[in-house]
């Protein structure tokens, strides 16, 4: 079975996107696990189904459905949604505004710049809610945030500890029955934070749009950062600003390759 895809990355957070019309099966979780496998599949942090037909009443231009590499289905990915917009922009070169329906509602993206291979979008992440400003998770200081998906943001002095092991434990802490994303925040200055990410269903990632949003909002709420915030990730900075209670996140997206995944060749059911 041949599954066409386009591979993109948003600040080295990589995704495979397949058009909805090109998916002949309904067992999407197993397909997501297979195509995202970095050894026997194409390899990615997540797989996305893009329906570019939009809504007849014009309320949105396209819709997406996202799967993590473990087959779970999160509500939203900031980097992933930018990647979907980049794919739409490739086929609609004159368009600069995109409204994409996600599992966390409608998201509006504005094209900021277009290079030879990379485009940059500012994405309206909506109103981000702080659920618990001061709490303890796994014995560590934390801020709980809803950024369209659950975020546990943990202020730290440095990254010299085994933050990956902590992230894995926090993700599955009993406090989070649906698991949670985890970010570790180090203050650099009043407008800069350095962050590491452990994503629900994907593990360590080079960056995260919703994670960066949750981390920045947590830092602002705690008073050790102020808008605008540069969120430094292992893949480079993401820019965040707050305006009228909404959060706007700016970052890149880039097409890597187009291809076809031969699904079923390992299991012998192709």
35 contact partners, CB below 8 Å, separation of at least 6: 3, 5, 16, 41, 42, 44, 47, 261, 263
Predicted confidence (pLDDT) at residue 269 exceeds the cutoff of 50? no
Residue 100: per-residue pLDDT: 97
Q: Which domain holds residue 179?
A: 129-244
Whether residues 211 and 199 share a domain: the answer is: yes
214 falls within a domain: yes
270 falls within a domain: no
* Residue 70 tokens, joined: 């473990």
Q: How does residue 268 score in pLDDT terms, banded at 50, 70 and 90? A: very low
136 falls within a domain: yes
269 falls within a domain: no
Collapsing DSSP to helix, strand or coil, 217 comes out as: helix
Whether residues 103 and 137 share a domain: the answer is: no
Predicted confidence (pLDDT) at residue 265 exceeds the cutoff of 80? no
User: For residues 180 and 152, is the Cβ–Cβ distance under 8 A?
Assistant: yes
CATH of the domain at 191: 3.10.310.10
Residue 147: per-residue pLDDT: 96
Predicted confidence (pLDDT) at residue 1 exceeds the cutoff of 80? yes
Residue 267: per-residue pLDDT: 43
267 falls within a domain: no
Q: How does residue 26 score in pLDDT terms, banded at 50, 70 and 90? A: confident
Mean pLDDT of 235-243: 96
Tally of domains within the chain: 2
Whether residues 73 and 54 share a domain: the answer is: yes
Whether residues 45 and 116 share a domain: the answer is: yes
Residue 116: per-residue pLDDT: 81
Whether residues 78 and 167 share a domain: the answer is: no
Mean pLDDT of 121-145: 97
27 falls within a domain: yes
Whether residues 145 and 228 share a domain: the answer is: yes
Encode pLDDT of 52-74 as tens digits: 998 888 899 999 999 999 999 99
Q: What percent of the chain has pLDDT over 90?
A: 91
Q: How does residue 264 score in pLDDT terms, banded at 50, 70 and 90? A: confident
Whether residues 84 and 120 share a domain: the answer is: yes
Whether residues 86 and 161 share a domain: the answer is: no
């Amino acid at each position: 079975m041949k599954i066409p895809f386009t591979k993109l990355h948003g600040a080295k957070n990589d995704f495979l996107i397949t058009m909805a019309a090109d998916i002949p099966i309904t067992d999407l979780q197993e397909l997501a696990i297979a195509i995202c496998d970095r050894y026997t599949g194409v390899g990615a942090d997540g797989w996305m189904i893009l329906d570019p037909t939009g809504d007849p009443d014009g309320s949105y231009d396209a819709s997406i459905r996202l799967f993590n590499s473990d087959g779970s289905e999160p509500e939203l990915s900031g980097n992933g949604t930018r990647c979907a917009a980049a794919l739409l922009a490739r086929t609609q070169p004159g368009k600069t505004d995109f409204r994409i329906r996600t599992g966390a509602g409608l998201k509006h993206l504005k094209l900021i710049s277009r290079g030879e291979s990379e485009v940059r979008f500012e994405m309206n992440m909506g109103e981000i809610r702080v659920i618990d400003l001061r709490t303890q998770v796994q014995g560590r200081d934390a801020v709980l945030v809803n950024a369209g998906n659950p975020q546990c943001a943990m202020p730290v002095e440095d990254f010299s500890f085994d933050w990956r092991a902590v992230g894995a434990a926090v993700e599955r802490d009993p406090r989070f029955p649906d698991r949670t994303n985890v970010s570790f925040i180090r203050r650099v200055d009043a407008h800069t934070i350095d962050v590491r990410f452990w994503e629900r269903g994907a593990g360590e990632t080079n960056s995260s749009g919703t994670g960066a949003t949750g981390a920045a909002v947590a830092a602002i709420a705690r008073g050790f950062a102020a808008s605008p915030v540069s969120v430094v990730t292992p893949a480079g900075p993401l820019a965040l600003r707050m305006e009228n209670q909404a959060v706007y996140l700016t970052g890149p997206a880039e097409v890597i390759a187009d291809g076809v995944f031969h699904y079923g060749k390992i299991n012998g059911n192709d």
